[in-house]
Structure 1
Amino acid sequence: MKSKELSVDLRDIIVSRHKSGEGYKTIAAALKVSSSTVGSIIRKWKTFGTTMSLPRSGRPSKLSDRGKRVLVREVANNPMVTLKELQGVSEKMGEPSSRKTIATALHRSGQYGRGAKRKVIRSEHNTKRKSKELSVDLRDIIVSRHKSGEGYKKIAAALKLSNSTVGNIIRKWKTFGSTMSRPRSGRPSKLSDRGERVLVREVANNPMVTLKELQGVSEKMGEPLSRKTIATALQRSGLYERGAKRKINQKTSKPKLAPPNECGVSELHEEIARLQEENDKLKTRLWSLESQAMSALEEKAEAERALEDIQKVQGEKQLAAQSKEINSLEDTVAALRVDYERSLTANADSHKDLKENLISSKHELLRVQEQLAMAEKELDEKFQQTAAYRHMKDILTKKNEQIKDIRKRLQGYEPNA
């Protein structure tokens, strides 16, 4: 995600460090900013004379910085708030925004919505057990129909099979030249198809047969199997074992009450009357306890409502105070920024005036230097026209001629090499 812009104060610090002679890498290491960012800010300052953000193309943001902070605060206080409710909050602030705009602003602050996990609907088709393999005869019928020119859909409709099954069988026949099942990985089944049919027939003839007896049948066929293997084979054929109903032990069961005799009828009526009186007393006591519990619950509900009202009032007061403080701080920051911009504009104007004065002074200095050079040249010309200069020049010429004459004479006295 794109990082935030640097503050104007930090940009001014970068420019001031550059003016003091520090390099890009030194400034970047000191302020923990990349060298490219430092270079971009300094080039912008050299080009436009300011570090403020220039007007950009595109529509300005509908949400202000304050509005974004309010939305983030709402989400932090109530994580279950919806975008529609946040739209109402933005409208109250006077910044009506779409759900997409609000979601984008929250994403920039690291707030993301979460949807409930989708519940998988398990239909009858999904829960149905994997079907058995088709018989070799049926596969041969599919291949023969395909050879006669029938298509996949027509064969599937005629034999009540799926198109994918028909296609798989035909591709297998084209690849291996046979419709028989290929060898597969894993241990082969201990029970053959014939043995499975025999076990199913035994269970059909005698539903009360046990797994131990079926083990004996499989051993007689020459296919000794465990009880688990036999039970699995029967379950594949739709046969499941059932346990017998548990019998009641007559010895441990409680004895039935004997019928009362004639002399005990009056005592039984007295006992029933006493139990009814106790029952009425218990009902009265229960009613009083229920009424007390209901009154206590009502008092508790009233106390909770009063506490919620108090908390709501306090929260509104606290929120109003915080918003007022934030607004005052924002106004102070805005005023300081305006003052800083004014001072920056004044400094820019004074810098411009100083630059113009320096340029004019430089031009004046060049003009004075040119005048001095011309005066020096005129002075040399005037000096050359004086009598003393001409006399000195004549003397020097005569001396040079005398020196040349003396050299010639000396050459005559030198021996020949």
Structure 2
Amino acid sequence: MSLLRRIRAREARVGVIGLGYVGLPLALAFCRAGFRVTGFDVDEEKVRRLARGESYIRHVPSDRISACGDRFTPTADFARLAEVDCILVCVPTPLTRHREPDMTYVFGTARTVARHLRKGQLVVLESTTYPGTTDEDLRAILEESGLRAGRDFHLAYSPEREDPNNPDYSTTDIPKVVGGLTPGCLRAARALYDCVVVRTVPVSSTRAAEAAKLLENIYRAVNIALVNELKVLFDRMGIDVWEVIEAAKTKPFGFQAFYPGPGLGGHCIPIDPFYLSWKAREYDLSTRFIELAGEVNTRMPYHVVEKTVAALNARGKSIKGARILILGLAYKRDVDDIRESPSLKLIELFQDRGARVAYSDPYVPRTHRMRRYDFRMRSVPLTPANLKRHDCVVVATDHSSVDYRMVAEHAALVIDTRNVVPGAGRRKNIVKA
């Protein structure tokens, strides 16, 4: 039976490489659609937990995993790639310290796939990357197997659009952009995703699909940088940027509200734009909007620290030796994801200035070792006593479960980077940053 027929009959076996915030929801979506799914991950502890039906991601309940039954098989044995018909690659694409693409995970995964690749399989890259990754780099590595892309196996690109804990849009509710190496590759990839998502959006090439994902995130990065820059300007002018945004968004056309914060976080917006700016150098072009937006957004944690130092000085307190409580470690509200969180940079900057730093986050009980940070900290309970024990509380993440009125009542000083603490303008202990 051909691959297309096996997909449409839900008889094709799906393999998902990388069972993180993108790969795990995708694997479960295929299970719910009736497919048998093998999930691959190098983290054996993660695989053992998933095999027991336990989720390690807060917004993915364990019962969604157990409901899949024997249709979902997590494994660290990559030799089993030969058993699946469709291979979906969902691995990280971080940046180096010099803001250049770190393709270690994608290329390493591709070499693993190449060792087990067989005729008739479909390989789809979902990781965000620069145009040309799929049809140049990935293709070259996979063809080291002796098989030809577009003839012996199908190759496509379909960028992930996961937004963790979004109450309105889950994996299956979001249209899926798909680009294939050949028309046949596109047909196979569309047939697969048509089984699980509300709509597929075909484009002319893998490069167009890669560029579409970058455009989505660059659009957000540039607009967030704009309001972050205006926040600093309006602050010096004595104007509340959040009030300005609320007023501006009453216009029913020509304006979309973006909000400032302590910096960018997550796996997409702080990283993805630089994949395009790096690639642009091959064409002797400078992506000035991307670079400028990156500079502005990267500067925001420093702005928060400067506001904190000034507020402490006004109260006769030095930053050196000050007890600082970071409220919220996750990069966005109501998730347990701390990837690229600006809170991590804030902790580093405050510690560099001699402050004694703690954090409180209901969804992140302890820190773990990351590529750039290893703080070895535990979340402290958010109680009136703990609030009073600190010289300053910096609200970095606006979790909805936090009682911000209690924070305002018991903290000596609150630096509010999210405009969530009530009483600003009336309470002298609240400073917006």
TM-score range, shorter chain: under 0.3
Of Structure 1 and Structure 2, which has the larger fraction of its residues in strand?
Answer: 2
TM-score by length of 2: 0.15
TM-score by length of 1: 0.15
Query: Using CA pairs below 8 Å that are at least 6 residues apart, which structure has the higher relative contact order?
Result: 2
Larger Cα-atom Rg: 1
